[in-house]
Structure 1
Amino acid sequence: MTATPATSSPADDVGMAHLGQIIAVASGKGGVGKSTVSTNLTLALAAQGAAVGLVDADLYGPSVPGMLGIVSGKAPTMSPAGKIIPAEAHGIKVMSMGMLTDDDKPAILRGPMVSKYLRMFILEVAWGKLDYLILDLPPGTGDTQLTLAQAFPLTGAIVVSTPQDVSLKIARRGIRMMEQVKVPILGIVENMSGFTCPSCNEVTHIFHQGGGAKIAASLGVPLLGAIPLDPAIVDCGDEGRPLVIAHPNAPASAVYRSIAAILSGRVQATVGVPTPFDWHWADDTSKPKPAAPTARAGSAADVPVTLDRRDGRTLVLRWQDGHDQQIDVRDLRLACRCAACVDEMSGRAVLDPATVPLNIEPTRIWSLGNYAIGVSFSDGHRSGIYTFGQLRGMVTVEVEDV
């Protein structure tokens, strides 16, 4: 049978605790060995006793099945609950477009279909109880990255680069993109950092030296590890037996295990209001639970710890730094920055305030990753994205004494 992409709505994101920590492996450009890093890192985490799943999120160029020896084009089976049963290889569970299509059949997908397949690969798969779900992203900062950052509460991202300057400069852009959508950067992995001669053990730095450490220091993020070149990586990928399985004593395998150990001790759950949520305004169904109190000096000003409502007209927010805020919901509608309300080129408002009813109310409010909320209003408008920074900057309504 052929799996079809699931329909998407904010409610689809509810109930993902079984996925554990969701970690994205990203790169600014192709050819840096990101999928090799993703695959070997996933196996290194599994070797520590963790239950790990791997999503090959590069829908146009899936390579993970080949690296793991998974047969392409063999339609997956479905569980009695209607979930896709993932492939298993070397103790990890895997989902990839390469499992749905033959090697020579391209995936021709427009943006909305990309989003639907990504949601299906994460939400409609019988993963079981995981400690980590690793997402092997395509290179760049396009639809896939934005979809995942908006739809799922990513624990963090690992950025893979090679030591040469051009790769590092592009990696910097990828890091900045993740920062804008509030995805924590767990660290940088410098791949292909040097070649160790198997005869004399002399290290030759083919692509310069120390670039990963420099960019990590300049951005204030950790360097998780520098993985040396190893000719066996190519053969292992072609044979479907990744390096950490086929050559566990290789220097590169030791680095993968070190990175896995670092992540195991460093990864933390996202602070702030627990996500995902899909809050129905009228009856408070699925209203987000408040986060544990963390207000203290130096706490983040753009991390909400409580979303509530004072009445049908007022959205209430409490921020991690202890600031309380109340926003009139009509002001929230007027502040929408979507393309239907603001001209994308000039930034000029095109929404006529006179067309917004005075008694407008939200119907639903849902989380968008770790950085924003989406709001559906009683006038039918639902395309706005309100970042936490934008919400914090809105004017607080005066509360009348009663």
Structure 2
Amino acid sequence: MSAVLRQAEPADPLARLGRLIAVASGKGGVGKSTVSANLAAILARRGLRVGLVDADLYGPSIPGMLGIAADTPPAMSPGGKVIPAEAHGVKVISMAMLTGDDRPAVLRGPMVTKYLRMFVTQVDWSTLDVLLLDLPPGTGDTQLTLAQSFPLAGAVVVSTPQDVSLKIARRGIRMMEQVSVPILGIVENMSGFTCPSCGGVTHIFHQGGGRSVAEGLGVPFLGAIPLDPAIVDGGDSGVPLVVDSPTSLAARAFEVVADALTGDLAPSGGLRMPFDWTLATGAGRPAPASHGPAGRPLALDYDATGLTIGWPDGSRHLDPRELRLACRCAACRDELTGKALLDPAKVPLDVVPVRIWSVGNYALGIAFSDGHDSGICTFEALRALEGSEAEDV
């Protein structure tokens, strides 16, 4: 199974992190961190190099679940990076390791963004096969920051069988889809309670809701985790159930989820990301791809006539000034009404892009010669722009 994720040593520092997989939930209390901790431990026991980012900055719980002391600040490497803690073969970074158990993280949005990026890029992970990101519940700053900053391989959405939980899980899935993060599947946690005395199963939170939602949304159903007191005990003791009782029914359920997850990590194709391309020098130009999904570019090219984007169904040529006038950032277009705020007369006729970079899996950031650099052009918006058809890719 380790061959699914094991990769050659890459030169790109971000590529050294392997597959970035978000573990998300629409609401709190569904056991998302428990699923993250147990999945990380399983993958590590299979011989994979695993990292785990506790991205819930306001309510970090991963260190306690893995038995990592939260009162000892992490050391720094000679290169100035944070050395992650390690337990059960998993490398871990968490706000709890920086603040301790009793001090709250009082952070505004920009600081949340700063810490999240630091946890991914300023930690001495060495080389990983997979980096799991245990997200807080909801669809806010954390989710958007990670989706915009890093090319996530996909997201696992955790829910309980309750109707209210499943409805909110749908919102989380839709949010991930909007920013082109593939949904690797749904995990139904607390699926049923098995009586330790008689073996009877009681479905406290209903039955089969996770599978039904997965089928309705057309995403994989990764598995159902039973409601087992031993899972809670493992989280409280710092020894995940899959380590303490690897042959138990609940541990085998986690194994099923891990099997489905690692079997669904083949590259999806498309333009090689992340990249940051300075057009004047050519530095950072992205490598083209030979295949990919319809909504993701295969190649980018630029010359004096404009930007050419190669798509699976052909290429499209975009005039530089047309691209500048199409910006939909808050400075160029009203966020509520969609009304254009940019005066075309103030945009130079000879405006050109000077830098293009990837934004997660779903957009390009473009800086122009007139100094404008705050726009994000989604792939969907780029495909909708009028332009002349070029040769097929």
Give the TM-score range, shorter chain: over 0.9
1:303 aligns with 2:303: no
Give the alignment partner of residue 77 of structure 1, picking from 75, 78, 90.
75
Q: 2: CA distance between counterparts of 1:312 and 1:143?
A: 38
Three-state SS of the structure 1 residue aligned to 2:286 is: coil
Q: Does 1:161 align with 2:159?
A: yes
Q: Secondary structure at the match of 1:157?
A: strand
Query: What whole-Å deviation, never above 9, does each CA across 1:256-292 have from its counterpart, x for those lacking one?
Result: 112112222221224210100000011211111101x
Q: Could you list the runs of 5+ residues in structure 2 that have no partner in the other structure?
A: 1-11
Instruction: Assess, with a 3 A threshold, how the Cα gap between structure 1 residues 270 and 124 changes in structure 2: closer, same or farther.
Output: farther
Match of residue 196, structure 2, among 187, 195, 198: 198
User: Match of 1:11?
Assistant: none
1:1-400 → structure 2 map (5 Å cutoff): 15-291=13-289, 293-294=290-291, 300-309=293-302, 311-321=303-313, 323-397=314-388
Residues 34, 398 of structure 1: alpha-carbon distance in 2 compared, 3 angstrom cutoff: closer
Q: 1:73 deviation in Å?
A: 3.1
Q: Distance in 2 between matches of 1:151 and 1:207?
A: 36
TM-score, normalization by structure 1: 0.92
Deviation at 1:398, TM superposition (A): 7.8
Kindly provide the CA deviation profile for residues 93-129 of structure 1, in whole angstroms up to 9, marking residues without a partner as x. 0010010002111111111111111111011111111
Indicate how the Cα distance of structure 1 residues 398 and 208 shifts in structure 2: closer, same or farther if over 3 A, else same.
closer
Q: Which residue of 1 aligns with 2:9?
A: none
* Helix, strand or coil at the partner of 2:193: strand
Q: State the alpha-carbon separation in 1 of the partners of residues 268 and 92 from structure 2.
A: 24
CA distance in 2, matches of 1:314, 1:119: 32
Contact 1:328/1:397 (8 A) holds in 2: no
CA distance in 1: counterparts of 2:92 and 2:267, whole angstroms: 23
Q: What residue is the counterpart of 1:4 in the other structure? A: none
Assess, with a 3 A threshold, how the Cα gap between structure 1 residues 364 and 143 changes in structure 2: closer, same or farther.
same
Distance (whole Å) between structure 2 residues aligned to residue 313 and residue 111 of structure 1: 40
Structure 1 stretches lacking a partner, 5+ long = 1-13
Contact 1:67 1:236 in 2 (8 A): yes
Identity of aligned residues (%): 65
* Whole-angstrom distance in 1 between the partners of 2:363 and 2:59: 30
Alpha-carbon distance in 2 for matches of 1:176, 1:289: 30
How far off its partner does 1:231 sit?
0.8
C-alpha contact (below 8 Å) 1:313/1:361 kept by paired residues: no
C-alpha distance after superposition, 1:331-365 (max 9, x if no partner): 11100001111111211101000000111111211
Answer whether contact 1:179 1:185 (CA < 8 A) is retained: yes
Give runs of ≥4 in structure 1 deviating > 4 Å. Answer: none
Per the TM alignment, residue 397 of structure 1 is displaced from its structure 2 partner at its CA by 4.2
Contact 2:315 2:389 in 1 (8 A): no
After TM superposition, give the deviation of residue 147 of structure 1 in Å: 0.5
Secondary structure of the corresponding residue to residue 342 of structure 1: coil
Distance 1:60 1:17 in 2: 28
* Equivalent position SS for 1:159: strand
Cα displacement string for residues 149-203 of structure 1 (whole angstroms, at most 9, x for unaligned residues): 0110100100000001000000000000111111110110000000000001000
Q: CA deviation at 1:15?
A: 3.1
* 1:343 partner amino acid: D
The C-alpha deviation readout for 1:292-344, integer Å capped at 9, x for no partner, is: x23xxxx74321000111x23400111022x1111011111100001111111
Q: What are the Cα deviations for residues 233-266 of structure 1, in whole angstroms up to 9, with x where unaligned? A: 2221111111111121221111111211222222
Distance (whole Å) between structure 1 residues aligned to residue 370 and residue 388 of structure 2: 22
One-letter amino acid of the counterpart of residue 72, structure 1: A
SS in 1 for 2:261: helix
CA distance in 1, matches of 2:304, 2:171: 41
Contact 1:70/1:240 (<8 A) preserved: yes
2: CA distance between counterparts of 1:344 and 1:277?
A: 28
Q: Are the counterparts in 1 of residues 316 and 389 from structure 2 also a CA contact under 8 Å?
A: no
Equivalent residues of 2:268, 2:293 under 8 A apart: no
The count of corresponding residues between Structure 1 and Structure 2 is 379
Show the counterpart of 1:6: none
